[in-house]
Structure 1
Amino acid sequence: MDWMIMLAQLLLSLSFLVAVHELGHLLAAKYFGMRVEQFSIGFPPKLWSFKKGETEYAISAIPLGGYVKISGMIDESLDTDAMNQPPQPWEFRSKPAWQRLIVMLGGIVVNVIVGVLIFIGITFAFGDTYILKDAINNHGGFQVGPIGEDIGLKTGDKIVKVNGNDFKYLIDIVKPQTLLANDAYYTVERDGKLIDINIPANFIQKFNKKENAANFLDYRIPPMIGKVEKETLAAKIGLQRGDTFTEIDGKPVTYFDEAHKLIQAHKESNVDSISFKIARNGQILSFREYFKGMKSIGFYPMEPENYLAEGKVSIKYGFIESIPLGTERAFQTLKTQITAFSKVITGVLSPKESLSGPIGIMQAYGAEWKWDRFWSLTGVLSLVLAFMNLLPIPALDGGHVMFLTYEMISRRKPSDKFLEAAQKVGMVFLLALMVFIFANDIIKLF
């Protein structure tokens, strides 16, 4: 059932984005009097269609793209027979280069506009909820997981600056623009001293893995019991929700990570019994229990959302406020994607780790349908689709833009045979890239 929910979100998002992208081409082509033969969401075989005027509108079986067939244009259909006929006034090839350029940019422009509108919409509809940095630093600093320890952070560190700049919210620590910055680093306060911790250039690859993001940084929580597991030591001795550990094996504890560490250390010792003290309703209860061979005491900590309530800030924006803020966030997202792509091209980031296909994107949507997450990811995908389509690769819009720009500057149009050959090369390259991305997604599953 989980994969069906993820797949449904992916297909809805892609279908919507492909539809608006191809609609951009269609509207621009029709505006300049070009004949549009077909508008398809998905690739053949065709499932359903209807015809209005000279255009057939279709939904096809492979929901990983779409296309608009414009008369007299060398595209993925490679209709060479039509191209061998004399040019007609309604054809793409008969129009001025500047009109053809606008048609090819139509889908990209619409995807950028849609991405911006989505970011404005989610900013207005959902607002923001942040955790203040000072609230974390004032409650014992950060609990650091394995990938945080790998770069030199330690539990109890207080992060006071990011890349040399002061910051206000927890989210600022892990923003893509933070992790992708050149020579990125955190400034932490540890034992009363300030220390700079360098962030490796490829760290974002580790952080973006779902299992690692949860093992980087979190705020520290009290060693309070939230749930007692059945048929465990905790259940046997009557531990209750709300009980708080104050001491384990004679060592005082203030935070859950300290309690967890002491319990793990005891498991590795040769001591048969474990001692601990619990605070309950103003009383201190002492225990010494046989623990040899046991995996845990048998409890889960109190839910994290019950802590730092005073450190959470919720912000709602009016519609007018949301317009510049959402627009800024959309273009910041686009800038981040371009920065990440440049680091892949230059070898700083591994293509294998950085690129995700339909399976990876599907997993990002998650097994629970949350509209804020759905629209956030859809907005990002719209901007990514615009950027990727602008790349100067034949068979993409950017390839057509490249050749049209050459034609406008040189006043010479590339021959149809050259454009056909370039289209074939581009299609082979894109097919190979799709195979690589699909295979990479499958490998990541195991």
Structure 2
Amino acid sequence: MFGLVDCNNFYASCERAFNPKLEGKPIGVLSNNDGCVIAQSNELKPYVSMGMPAFKIPPDIKKQSILLSSNYELYGDMSQRVFSIVQDYIYDTEVYSIDEAFLNLEKQNNYIEYCQFLRKIVRRCTGIPVSIGISKTKTLAKIANHVAKKNPQHQGVYFLNTDDQIFIELLKQFPIEEIWGVGRKLSAKLNAMGIQTAWELRNSNASQLGKTFSVVLERTVLELQGTSCIELDSMDTPKKNIMTSRSFGKTTKELFEVQEALRVHASRGAEKLRSQNSLAQAVLVFLRTNRFNEHQPQYYPSIVIPLLYPSNDTRQIIEAVNTGLKHIFKEDYFYHKAGVMMLDLVDKDKRQLDFFSSTEKEETKARSETLMQTLDKINKKMGRHTVSFGGINKKAPWNLKREFISKRYTTRWDDLPVAKVT
């Protein structure tokens, strides 16, 4: 039996947790560089669609709404707090996204009662409201969560029992584009085949659909039939690749500014490698111009730089990134985005040893590991970039444009909430 915990209107809820004045107000959270709406509170959803550019929001709606820049530091930290609390009560947990996690509920006797308890604990400890859907498979738990969120009478928790008549009626009304793993493009093809609802998809030939489309759709059909075939991954499962990238607040054609942005991404990527005890065997570096600007020449280069030996040392990662940048950077282009991806990751404790490695080389590796551990401890305690390789210009064009950002209440000393006695 699976449960799906989903934080309700997560970004807006994070903002409200530390600013109660926002309760009941229409809130919109903007994407990088304050471009498009990427999250809305329930109050804003009827008037502003997901992905709408901020400049296209009607003036009368914008006047009554509260638009905020993405506060990723706050959202990421609150996500970690929510799911660490969940894991305290149900260890077998898989965090699926920043606001969703699957639970293994096999050991629980009363699913609904326990999930109601869990929901109250999360709200009390973090201020974040969550909904929980329960069923035999992950796909059905997703559908159950949809019901829990949309229908207040269920008080945030819904158990989708495949033995009930309600199960049949629900799937007959549930559109296939809303099913986890289907999406709009695939649903259009299924619609052409006469498959409109989750019930019709459930009663389709799984094997035939798998041959026509993909094994993913075949598994989805089996999951709708009550056969669990999507495993629950551990929270501690390391990523196979690590990407760090971001669009610039302003375009730039200066080499040193692009280099600085990539150095920050490389440092962050190396930090993520160490956090999951991994080593990278190669590094991919890429640049992007703004494809939406038709008046400027376009250029989308990328290059893979193999590392001499697997590493998570920030210095070696930066050196590889700089080598890659020299090969792909061209003057006279206005760059809009840059990024770094760590490739071919291996477990640090299971890497193949170098037969020809000298004692001096092993001592160098040990010193490197000690240095990186010290670096991470300082930055974790004092804040990211407290110690970094190379200076960071906070006014550089590549920095994010965030004119409406709220305080980083949980990750910055200067932004800690202050209780006033009146």
- Higher RCO structure, 1 or 2 (CA under 8 Å, sep 6+): 1
- TM-score, scaled to structure 2: 0.25
More helix by share: 1
TM, length-normalised to structure 1? 0.24
In our comparison, the structure showing a higher alpha carbon Rg is: 1
